[in-house]
Amino acid sequence: MLLSAALTVVLASLARPTLAQDENPNIVYDSAHNATTIYGTWSSGSKAVLTGAGFANPANMTFTYPKTTGVSYSFSQNGYYEISRYRFNSNGSEPTCITGVIGWVHGTYTLNNNGSISMIPLGDGFQQIQDPCAAVSNFIEVYNYTEYYKGWRIFTDPTQGFKLHLFQFDGSPVAPLFQVSTTPNMLPTTVLRNVPTDPTIARRSASSAPDALGPHWVMGVMGAMTLVVVSTSLMLL
């Protein structure tokens, strides 16, 4: 066991520089751009929301609700990502209708040469929406949207350490993410539930409510996260 652990360390140290170079020659891992690599687990705010075990059970599409809202991203050196999110969305025209959204997704990511990140889901992502004012106030649905982030930067925060900034497709920032661990804390990087492979079934489920709950809606909510957190806390005062 000791031997295999030592071997893993040796292999990891051999693999690391090669991977970083092959992966993306234009992303410079220096202090001017990125204070460290993106690999590992990152979490916003109080770090109550984390990827890995203890947040989502993809096999039966259930969640263990964290104490507070937040978002967490993990990136592995071999190209896998995982995202956990929990947030409240307030409705301007119906201030008492605060919608809760909790979601989980994983898949493969690419650090593109122009500094963007593309994330392709594996198909077993899902989210639960609790909307006290909707006809169906609580439902769970498949979440299988490709996500595109315009850019990313890693800074060093004087008190919290490494801090990752992700910029969404429209340039709006994700809440600052702090490094929780340098090795990613993730569920197995395989499909964790039977998902329809028949393209007609997949297409039908993916387009069940494209306007109401499609990528724009979800991205919009993510973009508004800071605002929502602010307005939610104002509302609670």
Ligand X SMILES: *[C@@H]1O[C@H](CO)[C@@H](O)[C@H](O)[C@H]1NC(C)=O
Query: For ligand X, which is the closer residue by CB, 15 or 133?
Result: 133
Residue nearest to ligand X according to CB distances in the complex: 123
Whichever of 114 and 159 has its CB closer to ligand X, that residue is 114
Closest distance between ligand X and the C-beta of residue 147, in Å?
Answer: 10
Which amino acid belongs to residue 80?
Y
Report phi then psi at 47, rounded to 5.
60, 30
Distance separating alpha carbons of residues 49 and 68, to the nearest angstrom? 7
Contact 107, 122 (CB under 8 A): yes
Q: How near is the Cβ of 34 to ligand X at its closest, in Å?
A: 17
x/- track of binding to ligand X for residues 89-128 (CB under 6 A): --x-xx--x--------------x-x-x-x-xx-x-----
Q: Which two tokens stand for residue 129?
A: 């929406």
Q: Measured from the CB of residue 122, what is the shortest distance to ligand X in angstroms? A: 7
Torsion angles phi and psi, residue 198, rounded to 5? -65, 120
Burial annotation 63-74 (CB, 10 A radius, 16+ → b, else e): beebeebbbbbb
- Closer residue to ligand X, CB minimum distance, 132 or 161: 132
**Minimum CB distance to ligand X smaller for 20 or for 224:** 224
Q: Could you tell me which of 42, 143, 45, 73 has the C-alpha nearest to residue 101?
A: 143
Strand-pair partners of 88: 100
Kindly state the tokens that stand for 31.
Answer: 């202090």
| Least distance CB 31 / ligand X (angstroms) | 24
* Total Cβ atoms within 10 A of residue 138: 11
> Taking CB under 6 A as the criterion, which residues in 189-208 touch ligand X?
195-196, 202, 206
Give residue 21's identity as a one-letter amino acid code.
Q
Binding of ligand X at residue 133 (CB under 6 A)? yes
CA 196 to each of CA 17, 30, 143, 205: distance values in angstroms, whole numbers, following the listed order: 38, 43, 13, 9
Size of the site for ligand X (CB under 6 A): 22
The residue within the footprint of ligand X, chosen from 37, 128, 144, 189 (CB under 6 A), is: 144
Q: 41-60: which residues touch ligand X (CB under 6 A)?
A: 57, 59-60
Least distance to ligand X, CB of residue 59, Å: 6
Find the binding residues for ligand X in span 17-46 (CB under 6 A).
none
- The contact set with ligand X (CB under 6 A) reads 57, 59-60, 62, 91, 93-94, 97, 112, 114, 116, 118, 120-121, 123, 133, 144, 146, 195-196, 202, 206
